[in-house]
Amino acid sequence: MNRKHRICAITATRAEYGLLSGVFREIQRDEECEFQLIATGTHLEESFGATYRDIEREGFEISRRIPIFQGDADKEVLQTMSVALSRIGEALTELKPDMVILLGDRYELLPIASACVVLKIPIAHISGGEITEGAYDEYIRHAVTKLSYIHFTSTEAYRRRVIQLGESPDRVFNVGDLGVENVQNLSRLSKRELESDLGIDIGDRLLQVTFHPVTLDGDSERQFRHLLDALEERPEYQIVFTRPNADSGSSVLNRMIDEFQTRHASRVHVYASLGYKRFLSLLSYCVAIVGNSSSGIVEAPSLGIGTINIGNRQRGRISSDSVIHCEPTKLQILAALDKAGSAEFRQLARQTRNPYESNGTSKEILRLIKATLNEFSGMYKKFYDLRSDRLESKERER
Distance CA 152, CA 80 (A): 27
Cβ-in-10-Å burial (0-12, 13-18, 19+) of 148 comes to buried
Distance CA 259, CA 227 (A): 14
Contact 42, 134 (CB under 8 A): no
pLDDT at 398: 46
Please, which residues have CB within 8 angstroms of residue 323's CB and are 6 or more apart in sequence? Answer: 296, 297, 300, 301, 306, 307, 309
Cβ-in-10-Å burial (0-12, 13-18, 19+) of 261 comes to middle
pTM of the model: 0.88
Cα R_g (the chain), whole angstroms: 21
pLDDT at 390: 57
- Tell me the DSSP string of 281-347: HHHTTSSEEEES-HHHHHTHHHHT-EEEEETTTTTTS---TTEEEE-SSHHHHHHHHHHHTSHHHHH
Distance CA 291, CA 309 (A): 5
Q: What is the pLDDT along the chain (398 residues), one digit of tens a residue?
A: 578 999 999 999 988 998 999 999 999 999 999 999 999 999 999 988 899 999 999 999 999 999 999 998 899 999 999 999 999 999 999 999 999 999 999 999 999 999 999 999 999 999 999 988 878 889 999 999 999 999 999 999 999 999 999 999 999 999 999 999 999 998 999 999 999 999 898 989 999 999 999 877 778 999 999 999 999 999 999 999 999 988 888 999 999 999 999 999 999 999 988 988 999 999 999 999 999 999 999 999 999 999 999 999 898 899 999 999 999 999 999 999 999 999 999 999 999 999 999 889 999 999 999 999 999 999 999 999 987 655 455 445 54
Contact 95, 64 (CB under 8 A): yes
Distance CA 337, CA 115 (A): 45
Strands (E), the chain: 5-11, 33-40, 64-66, 99-103, 123-126, 150-153, 172-174, 206-210, 238-242, 268-271, 288-291, 306-310, 323-326
pLDDT at 393: 54
pLDDT at 136: 87
